[in-house]
Chain A
Amino acid sequence: MSKQRLVVIGAGMASGRVLEHLTDIAPDAYDITLFNAEPRGNYNRIMLSPVLSGEKTYPEIVTHDEDWYAKRGIACRFGEHVTAIDRAARTVSGQNGTSAYDKLLIATGSAPFIIPVPGKDLPGVVTYRDLDDTDAMVAAAHKGGAAVVIGGGLLGLEAAAGLALRGMAVTVVHLMGHLMERQLDEAAGYLLKRDLEAKGITVLTRASTKAILGKDRVEAVLLEDGTTLPADLVVMAVGIRPETRLATDAGLTVARGIEVDAQMRTSDPDIYAVGECVEFDGHLFGLVAPLYDQARVVADSLLGRDSAFSVKDVATKLKVTGCDLFSAGDFRDGPGREDIVYRDPARGIYKRLVIEGDRLVGAVIYGDTADGNWFFGLIKDRTDIEEMRETLIFGPAYQGGATADPLSAVAALPPEAEICGCNGVCKGKIVAAIEGGAGDLGAVRTTTKASASCGTCTGLVEQLLQLTLGDAFQMPAAQPICGCTDRTHEDVRRLIKTIPLKSQEAVWQELGWTTRNGCHVCRPAINFYLLADWPLEYRDDPQSRFINERKHANIQKDGTFSVVPRMWGGITTPGELRAIADAAEKYDVRTVKVTGGQRIDLLGVKGEDLPAIWADLNKAGLVSGHAYSKGLRTVKTCVGTDHCRFGTQDSTGLGIKLEKTLWGSWTPHKVKLAVSGCPRNCAEATCKDVGIICVDSGYQVSVAGAAGMDVKETERLADVPTEQEAIDLTIAFIQLYRENAKYLDRPYKWVAKVGLEWVKARVVEDIEERTRLISSFELSQSIYRRDPWAEHAAKRAEAYAPLADLTLEAAK
């Protein structure tokens, strides 16, 4: 029996996938001819944005080229337009001749929608759909100038971001009230607009284009309200429509798209259609996930296998110009619907969940989309969320008492949980691939296709690699420190030690900072790394510290400060209390508060009064409590053997010794200690950065606890018989943390990264290293173990006063 002939019109993401399935399952079933109007094979259209911005090149986004087809015996007719389908003769006519078919697959995709305004055909007006469009934009951007992008949907914004990165002054003109209105609600649209504007892109919403102006080529865009926007390039990205002309001419049933049944057959049983050109059950398709589902069904149908396409809920997880956003389900307001909203304005995070009855029906997330898939699962499965309503918005990490470690969140996902939305790959399949030998991201991509399309699930796949392989998998480098550099914290710390770099200027210069002198994100981090690694050579830079550390007090929302003197181990005296009471009265302290760290907080002190109140407190022997610092805060104690009938050791005395040793030291983040005199643990030592519990036989030293954003019990570092060893282990642990942790990682986060065993090997087992750590700490403390209050009150008091007071001068 001679082979059947299959003709395919269009080489896009859907048809490429069809041919892949078809030739994988039955390499010899068909003689295949592939027409493509573009003079090239298939490429990943989702990746055109990185090509536009210059982060990727065309060869990197090719999925199926002529070689690939040649190996599979498929005849390619690239660059050839199909002009007609003759259903009676069962032929397809291209510009270079006719091809006969037994089965035909139409995959003509979509065409950009052009708004019918005057000037739409001027040179310099482009759409954004294929590689030629992208190349045209890149060429235009080389000349610089102004670009106007019409359309604030996904494509338009990606075009805008790419052009801005290439140096054009970009304005986005969007008809609706907020950007990406189909995927985002107003609040998320606002955040996106704000972030784009921060990147220098101008965004005009509720702006309607009236005409495109220009004589020989485009010169400006005229809006309905009369605004004229100068433009050297206009990108029309208002939407796409299915490309159905061939199908209509051939007499197939076409509504908005080419109508197909669940087997992807058109009204002619020998003609199939797939991708953005089809309409199924009233739906059109633009996202890649359903397209790939369709591709599988087409391949099965062509091989006579049972298969049916159905429309599934789709979540949109997108990265637009570096901004993470996610939406799923139905997030419109409505009667009977309830919202749960979480905002973190400082970090630009917005999450909104829409609940109907006891079911989650929609979710919109901006900024931190890690929990998106979990929410999507709840929507899809119609899970009863009544029990977790209170903590739902905080994501899976907060359910059922698990920790907020992202790895444990991924570990908790069931095997059928979808990880890669584009390719519909579930966790079980990825884990199986890793266990089957796929040892890195590239291998997982090749074997499962997970993270191979849009790439937003890359982080999740990496976490699965780490979960499955453990130490055998090296997590790739994390985020850069900030916009001033491409380097990560880990990178910079290493280079500061090894090059070596001993000043901020050296770091900026040698590591290629892109800004003049850093920013508020990197400066405090670099300042800390330098002073921790070069305590003698580098001098702490107050101008690289946040206000609290620069002024040695905590700023309050009304601009006043809070003052917390140190109470060693939580012990005070009548004399100290009298001095505190006097100071509180003298400086009109509004609130006197006992803190959780066993000391007293004076709230509402004016900035100008700080040196004076410090001087007064100094006179009674009180010094700074460093309640404002990324450094040692408090050592909380119970009364131990001095008074308590259960006490086993002098916990108060040990606490005081520790505090006297550690105070004044700077650390990557704040450090809190506690010492309890017996396992009843009245000092709550088991949720501290270092917690010591005294027992009859000695001291249980445990580390890496947390009781803030996260709550976590400490882990046992070691049990030691003597007080001196307990002190030594504590100092060595803190010095190791100072030398290695990322700025703003609390010890529990750092230990989670390096592993407790790694810490134990250096602090407990390697005595030589322990000794080195202790002497390094002592060297640093020879500079920093002093009271900044006394120093500032004596030498720098004038810096706390206004430079000048012009209100006092008589009016002239």
Chain B
Amino acid sequence: MNWIDIGSLDDVPMRGARMVKTRAGCIAVFRTGEAEIFAASNTCPHRGGPLSEGIVHGTRVTCPLHNWVFDLETGNALGEDARITTYLIRIEAGRILIDGAALGRRSAA
């Protein structure tokens, strides 16, 4: 594990999301509740829609382009044979930490 601080919890709106650029591609950070966050690929496997721009409801997000719905707990698309990669993320003292190991940052080491 290699937890990286990517920002304050307050920077992500409730039932909203923000995007993070990484070397493994763009990742979306979703805030589904007061202290409930998820991280997953920002790119919809259907037509590449930016998931961080979708409507967040329950622990799901709806892609803004064609309304594919993803379960953020598993990354699975509902009713489609597709999934998005999910990443480990946690909140510590109001800061959002993401698992850098999974992002391939250390491949250059």
Contact = CB atoms under 8 A, between A and B. Distances in A.
Contacts of B21: 802, 804-807
B94 to A, nearest CB: 14
B15 A517 contact: yes
Contacts of A345: 66
Interface in B71-109: 78-80, 96, 100, 103, 105-106, 108-109
Interface residues of A, number: 38
A148 B78 CA distance: 21
Contact of B55 (A516, A546, A551, A807): A546
A555 interface: yes
Interface string A560-572: 0000000000000
Contacts of B22: 806-807
A192 B5 CA distance: 44
Contacts of A544: 15, 55
Interface stretch (A232-240, A424-432, A518-526, A668-676): A518-526
A542 interface: yes
Contacts of B80: 194
A62 interface: no
Interface in A193-212: 194-195, 197-198
A198 B79 contact: yes
A518 B106 CA distance: 40
B57 A806 contact: no
13 contacts: A197-B79, A516-B58, A517-B58, A519-B55, A542-B16, A555-B65, A557-B65, A558-B48, A559-B50, A607-B53, A802-B20, A804-B6, A805-B21
B29 interface: yes
Interface centre among B55, B103, B106 (most CB of A within 10 A): B55
Contact of B105 (A543, A805, A811): A811
Given A542-B16, A543-B15, A806-B22, 9 more contacts: A198-B79, A517-B57, A520-B67, A544-B15, A799-B18, A803-B29, A803-B96, A806-B100, A807-B22
A520 B7 contact: no
A275 B57 CA distance: 50
Contacts of B54: 520, 547
B44 to A, nearest CB: 10
A1 interface: no
Interface string B31-74: 00000000000000001111001111110101011110100000
A123 to B, nearest CB: 34
A795 interface: no
Q: Classify the interface of chain B: helix, strand, loop or mixed.
A: mixed
A775 interface: no
B20 A805 contact: yes
A806 B22 CA distance: 5
B79 A803 contact: no
A543 B16 contact: yes
A70 interface: no
Interface of A: 194-195, 197-198, 345-346, 515-520, 523-524, 542-547, 550-551, 555, 557-559, 607, 798-799, 802-807, 809, 811-812
A507 to B, nearest CB: 14
A133 to B, nearest CB: 29
A203 to B, nearest CB: 11
Nearest to B25: A807
Contacts of B106: 811-812
Nearest to A551: B53
A346 B67 contact: yes
Nearest to B4: A806
Interface of B: 4, 6-7, 11-16, 18-23, 26, 29, 47-50, 53-58, 60, 62, 64-67, 69, 78-80, 96, 100, 103, 105-106, 108-109
A546 B64 contact: yes
B13 A806 contact: no
A520 B109 contact: no
Contacts of A804: 6-7, 20-21
B18 A803 contact: yes
B57 A523 contact: yes
Given A802-B21, A803-B12, A519 B105 contact: no
Given A516-B57, A523-B57, A806-B103, A559 B48 contact: yes
Contacts of B109: 811-812
Closest 7 interchain pairs by CB?
A: A198-B79, A811-B108, A520-B62, A803-B18, A804-B6, A547-B64, A520-B55
Contact of A194 (B7, B15, B53, B79): B79
A803 B6 contact: yes
Contact of A519 (B4, B62, B64, B65): B62
A542 B56 CA distance: 11
B95 to A, nearest CB: 11
Contact of A520 (B6, B23, B69): B69
B12 to A, nearest CB: 7
Contacts of B47: 557
Contact of A803 (B19, B55, B100, B105): B19
Contacts of B67: 346, 520
A671 B13 CA distance: 30
Contacts of A542: 13, 16
Interface centre among B7, B12, B58 (most CB of A within 10 A): B58
Contacts of B79: 194-195, 197-198
B71 to A, nearest CB: 12
Interface centre among B66, B67, B69, B96 (most CB of A within 10 A): B67
B109 to A, nearest CB: 6
A173 B66 CA distance: 30
A543 B53 CA distance: 9
Contacts of B108: 811-812
Nearest to B6: A804
A712 B80 CA distance: 37
Contacts of A519: 55, 57-58, 60, 62, 69
Interface centre among A555, A557, A607, A803 (most CB of B within 10 A): A803
B6 to A, nearest CB: 4
Contacts of B11: 798, 803
Contacts of A558: 48
A559 B49 contact: yes
A178 to B, nearest CB: 15
B13 A543 contact: yes
A544 B57 CA distance: 9
A806 B23 contact: yes
A795 B41 CA distance: 28
Contacts of B15: 517, 543-544
A345 B23 CA distance: 33
A346 B62 contact: no
Contacts of A555: 50, 53, 64-65
Contacts of B103: 806
B37 to A, nearest CB: 11
A805 B103 CA distance: 12
Contacts of A551: 53
Contacts of B78: 198
A523 B13 contact: no
Given A515-B58, A520-B54, A543-B56, A803 B64 contact: no
A812 B6 contact: no
Given A543-B15, A547-B53, A547-B54, A803 B62 contact: no
B50 to A, nearest CB: 5
Contacts of A550: 53
B81 to A, nearest CB: 9
A547 B7 CA distance: 23
